[in-house]
Structure 1
Amino acid sequence: MPEQPSTLRARRRAQTQRTIQAHAIRLFGERGYDATTMNDVAEAAGVSPMTVYRHFPTKEDLVLADQHGELIAERIAASPAGRPLVRRIGGALVDAAATLTGDDRAADRRFLLARLQLMISTPALRARHLDNQYALQQAIIGALEDETPDPDTAFQAQAAAGACLAALHTAMVRWAEDDGRTDLPHLIGKALAAVFGDDVIGPAR
């Protein structure tokens, strides 16, 4: 069956975004974040400045925009509802990291590492990174929405997501500081274990 026009447009849009962002990250690494303009990114990507702004309204978005929240939310939604929240969320974070940094994803791993290092080293990006953390927390809570019908269970989901994301952030900063030499899923699991105990990622008993 031929691909639907709406699906084809979405694929083309996603590919354009990936191309623009890849060139932006490369230029930021080569020239520095402050020295690189949106016009520089447009020229490198072979598109108009208007196209860059349509996909990335601000310069910060060129670094911070990602679709990882969707991947993590899907994994949480697919996990057994009877498991403790921190295991479901923590397991999804570890699994997503393994997917994004696996041996067959060398280019994705380098891209993720470069983005993280830019976030850590650039003051303007460090401030906006908190927005990303909040958006990811909301994606996680959204994945659990059907299981949190009242304010008390919703609060528990928010607390579990917030604590897991704090551990994630600590692990990702360590990974970036190590220049990607350590195993990111292992670091995330280690950070989660430091907060919740050694069996947080293990099978439910």
Structure 2
Amino acid sequence: MEDRLSRLPLRERKKLRTRRAIQDHALRLFSEHGYDATTVEQIAAAAEISPSTFFRYFPTKEDVVVTDEYDPIMAEVIRDQPPELTPLDALRAMLREMLPQLYADDLEVIRMRLQLTADVPALRARTFESMRGTFELLSEAIGERTGRAADDSDVEAFSWAVLGVMQAALYRLIDGKVTYEELPDLLDRNLDFLARGCPL
């Protein structure tokens, strides 16, 4: 994944480094003092930026937890899969490529973000809202692979269905029903369940 990020223009790489630094300071403060007790001003001071700079990178305090660079990379990896793969197989290939890299590079950050999302109602609500952006990127990538418009009804239904089975796996992780080590297999099983028409 770092290789893909390194292809970004220099300006975008600098913005990404700043965004990550702000997020690292925020997560540390949330861990030390709690989410609700930590202010944007405290995060900005720790990151040695002004509050106005914080809001240029993150529109709300919730966004410093729910925002990451994964979605555009996910869409790029899906686009890069061989054209003969079905959309679901392209998604599976994307997960096989991305998850090991995410675990290697960002596992502790992912753990902290998911735990905060589980514990803070405002973050759960914001995470649900942010899924719209993920949905739009996924629909664009699937639309390109299938020769359809991103807002095609079938493409949109497929994209929401995929996000649904992936969220189901993540919530089992948050609820302690599976481990991080078991998550990749569960995601694959959920996508297979979707491919088979969700038989019950």
TM bucket (normalised to shorter chain) is 0.7 to 0.9
Please say if residues 79 and 88 of structure 1, whose CA atoms lie closer than 8 Å, have aligned partners that are also in contact.
yes
- C-alpha distance in structure 1 between counterparts of 2:133 and 2:124, whole Å: 15
- C-alpha distance in structure 2 between counterparts of 1:151 and 1:12, whole Å: 33
Quote the residue 2:144 is aligned against: 146
3-state SS of paired residue (2:61): coil
Q: 2:122 aligns with which of 121, 124, 144?
A: 124
Please say if residues 117 and 177 of structure 1, whose CA atoms lie closer than 8 Å, have aligned partners that are also in contact.
no
Quote the residue 1:10 is aligned against: 12
For normalisation by structure 2, the TM-score amounts to 0.82
Please say if residues 19 and 45 of structure 1, whose CA atoms lie closer than 8 Å, have aligned partners that are also in contact.
yes
Please say if residues 23 and 44 of structure 1, whose CA atoms lie closer than 8 Å, have aligned partners that are also in contact.
yes
Quote the residue 1:23 is aligned against: 25
Structure 1 pair 151–143 and aligned structure 2 pair: CA distance change class (3 A): closer
- Give me the CA root mean square deviation: 2.4
Please report how far the alpha carbon of residue 94 of structure 1 lies from its aligned counterpart in structure 2 after TM superposition: 4.2
Structure 1 unaligned segments of length 5 or more: list them.
1-5, 198-205
User: Which has the larger displacement, 41-50 or 109-118?
Assistant: 41-50
- C-alpha distance in structure 2 between counterparts of 1:54 and 1:43, whole Å: 15
Structure 1 residue 112 corresponds to structure 2 residue 110: yes
Structure with the larger RCO, 1 or 2 (CA within 8 Å, 6+ apart) = 1
Structure 2 unaligned segments of length 5 or more: list them.
1-7
Please report how far the alpha carbon of residue 146 of structure 1 lies from its aligned counterpart in structure 2 after TM superposition: 3.2
How big is each residue's C-alpha offset from its partner over 1:42-73, in whole Å with a ceiling of 9 and x where there is no partner? 11212221211111121111111111111110
Quote the residue 2:69 is aligned against: 67
User: Which has the larger displacement, 9-18 or 154-163?
Assistant: 154-163
For normalisation by structure 1, the TM-score amounts to 0.80
Question: Which letter maps to 1:124?
Answer: A
User: Which has the larger displacement, 14-23 or 88-97?
Assistant: 88-97
Structure 1 pair 100–77 and aligned structure 2 pair: CA distance change class (3 A): same
- C-alpha distance in structure 2 between counterparts of 1:74 and 1:87, whole Å: 15
Please report how far the alpha carbon of residue 150 of structure 1 lies from its aligned counterpart in structure 2 after TM superposition: 4.9
